[in-house]
Structure 1
Amino acid sequence: MEVVKTVFVTGYRSFELNIFQDNDPKAAVIKKVLKSELVNFIEEGVEWFLISGNLGVELWAGEVVLELKQEYDVKLGILYPFQGFGENWNEKNKLLLEKVEGQADYVDFVSRRPYQSPAQLKGHTTFILNHSQAALMIYDKEYPGKSMYFLKDAESFAETHFYENRLISMDDLQNFSHE
């Protein structure tokens, strides 16, 4: 039987959700949902969570994994799509990235060059799919965002490989916020 040991966590960028402040209540709901889902994965035997460092769901997931490390034997890996990722961000966002990166168990770049073309992003997706067995996404097909490209590739990959895609929809977030 196939076992999930590594999960890639992704989803909406903060600007896609109109979240621009750390104390936005929507971010708190997303982190609670992430914590619940990540704990479920850990209890199923997951050892590693991977992110690619995007603002929004990925960095929030990074923060949640770092919290969970205090209770569980779990690791965080950041696999940036290209060298220099996040260099153009504002100071506040760079500090968040540095904070999560500074506590991650593994940090690397899939492409050793600065951004040059979408082929690097495609290569990153292929690398992630080949080095994880599942994806946890806060993503709703009714509300398209940048993550739709990863989801399309992940669904296609799952047709020929063992790969689990768990999606958390806007309705799921709404329902969770009332709990």
Structure 2
Amino acid sequence: MDAVSISDGLIILATLLSPVIAVQVTRHLDERNEVRGRKLSIFKTLMATRSYVFSWAHVEALNRIDLEFMKSHKKEKAVVEAWKAYHDHLSHGDVTTAHWGSTRVDLMVELLHKMALVLDYDFDKTHIKNSSYAPQYHADTEGQLAAIRKGLIEVLDGQRVVPMVVTNLPNQND
């Protein structure tokens, strides 16, 4: 009879605890998916904007790396270390040299590759480096907009004058 009452007690206990356990497991899975989703958002933004490194979205995604990738996990620590190296390069050096630009690209590719490994994407470094599309029109437009902004600022600061030519003077006798 004791065996029956122990099994009945275990059934009652399991019946009472199973909803609590189910809720806890669901919360844990939801939190894990949310954390992964934030990491994926950063990675997808950086991949999508890797040819537009001055875009606001690209810069924002870079600045979110420290928040979302934990230094305690070995693979994620590699992401943070790659970001530190990339950030250091972006913050120093002569941006006008070809060497600086090629090193920047290599460091960004390294960062994206480390992120791909953490997120289980099968991208090799060559694919990351060479598979983005950026029309020349976008580069031309950005260059023109930068020139317009620079010129306008120079005019407003009094460093440049706006040339004017009068082509039609009113008749002085009228």
Normalized per residue, the structure richer in helix is 2
Give the TM-score taking structure 1 as reference length.
Answer: 0.23
TM-score (norm 2): 0.23
Bigger relative contact order (CA 8 A; separation at least 6): 1
Report the structure, 1 or 2, having the larger strand content. 1
Higher Rg of the two aligned structures: 2
